[in-house]
Copies of this chain bind each other. A is one copy, B any other.
Amino acid sequence: MVQVRLYDTTLRDGAQQEGISFSIADKLKIVQKLDEMGIHFIEGGWPGANPKDTEFFSKAKSLNLKHSALVAFGSTRHPESKVDKDAGLQALMEAKTKTVTIVGKSWDLHVTQVLETSLANNLHIVAESVDFLKSKRLTVFFDAEHFFDGYKANPEYAIQVVKAAAQAGADCVVLCDTNGGALPSEITVAIKAVQEAVSVPLGIHVHNDGDLAVANSLAAVQAGVVQVQGTINGYGERCGNANLCSIIPALKLKLGVDCISDKQLAKLTEVSRYIAELANLAPLSQLPYVGTSAFTHKGGLHVSGIMKWEDSYQHINPDLVGNRPKVVVSELSGKGNIIYKAKELGIALPLKGREARQVVQQIKLLESHGFQYEDADASFELLLHRAQPGYKSPFELIDFMVVVERHRRPSREDESELLSEATVKVKVSDKIMHTAAEGNGPVNALDRALRKALLEFYPDLTAIELVDYKVRILEESAGTASQVRVLIESSDGQKQWRTVGSSTNIIEASWLALADSVEYFLLKRNKSRQRS
């Protein structure tokens, strides 16, 4: 079986996508996640080019990676520098990775017009830079930038660049379709030509400007490259890089190429969504293999087909990539869904058909007001409890008020003070608590005031921590008067639960999600007390 090594550049090339900006903490988390999935090489960034990447590599040293090697990225030396004094190469070595990748020019026009040096000198720069890094006992990958465009323009020169890197000892020469415009047939032809001229192991790095990045990567593997570079979810500048989430399953399931284990492949969907979360981008539901819609059926013809034969309308079994099939719920199947979902959550409620139907009606009503229960298991469970006759909430909200004030200091005109304060009035049994708190922003103040009001009755509330707070504006076009959905994730140090609130008023939406979070915690606590 052919073996191919996977090289992830989400943290460097992927971060070039508009709207993506990973923190150092994000980057470290992503490295660990990619390591779990068995990615062979993880490009962490461009040390020296920005301070964040330099700091990242210094922190990454303490990661204990099981499968992956961390790679620092840089470029061939500056045309004006001496190789052993080049700031870029120095920064690269200071990252202290065992493997480095440097990019160099292979398109003649880029050499003369962008790098502004002679073709011969560029060959010299490439060779000298690779040779220098090899002399430091590093594993060196050479990215031949614009290789395929270069091959079209001046095939002889493009191949000379590959040869220069290979002769200087590059461990792999990665052919790049930097502008992303190549066709699969062009990829195949150019790789064959390189293979005839040089025997160095080859890699592929392509962009998706022609909507062909996955096809081009697979064509390269079929032509014999041994390293495939790409990003999770295809993140990257312009139209993105080759999407590893599409390439990996194609290699394993369709081309029979060895790269990661079956168990690692089954983490693919999780990894895709985890990294989307850290990139702060809504995961694209249409993504091949890993999207929430990738195995969804809506058309009546297809749904009746899959009821007769599961694989009739799916190209692979979604379990293989950790995804799951989904049938878009119709009004008739709603009741079954609720019962199924309650079972899935382990909610042991005596949920009869009629009650379940009532819950369906209520959910439909609430969803039309912007609530969404897919991601809010705890709020969903509270809905079920509230549908039970005789359910009583552990507290009752009477009033709240939030004030945010920014005013200038009387003494200094150029400084302002910002104050956020909330008051809350709640009732527990027959007692009314009316209290107030300040906070770092209005929702934080509300959160603190609520806990303060309840703490006398429920001292273990101190255990709750809000670990995630998300805001989504629905119908953004309604401007500041739009419906707002707030999702809150809470933790008591052991378990996590998620609640939802929705309103045209962000404060009220946050309040509803906060109140659900506390109510859910108290409910669960009572239950476990009753049991013990």
Q: Which residues of A contact B (CB under 8 A)?
A: 15-19, 21, 23, 49-50, 52, 75, 109-110, 113-114, 116, 178-181, 183-185, 208-212, 214-216, 218-219, 222, 234, 237-240, 243, 246, 250, 254-255, 280, 284-289, 291, 293-302, 304-305, 308-309, 312-316, 328, 330-332, 367, 372, 374-375, 398-408, 416, 418, 420, 439-444, 446-447, 465-482, 484, 488, 503-508, 510-511
Contact = CB atoms under 8 A, between A and B. Distances in A.
Given A21-B372, A405-B402, A288 B211 contact: yes
Contacts of A280: 472, 474
This chain's copy number in the assembly: 2
B209 A418 contact: no
Interface centre among A234, A313, A508 (most CB of B within 10 A): A313
B367 A21 contact: yes
Given A398-B408, A404-B505, A314 B179 contact: yes
A480 B507 contact: no
Contacts of A510: 480
Contact of A287 (B179, B239, B416): B239
Contacts of A446: 480
Contacts of A52: 331
Overall SS of chain A's interface: mixed
A214 B208 CA distance: 11
Nearest to A510: B480
Contacts of A17: 286, 293, 298
B418 A21 contact: no
Contact of A215 (B214, B441, B444): B214
B210 A508 contact: no
A43 to B, nearest CB: 14
A203 B309 CA distance: 27
A90 to B, nearest CB: 18
A78 B532 CA distance: 50
B210 A18 contact: no
Contact of A471 (B185, B300, B468, B471): B471
Contact of A211 (B23, B243, B375, B407): B243
B288 A332 contact: no
Contacts of A471: 471-473, 484, 506
10 closest Cβ pairs, A-B complex: A181-B315, A215-B215, A466-B479, A211-B246, A399-B407, A441-B505, A211-B288, A211-B214, A443-B480, A401-B405
A254 B179 CA distance: 14
A359 to B, nearest CB: 17
Given A184-B215, A239-B293, A444-B481, 7 more contacts: A18-B293, A113-B308, A180-B315, A185-B222, A209-B294, A466-B479, A466-B480
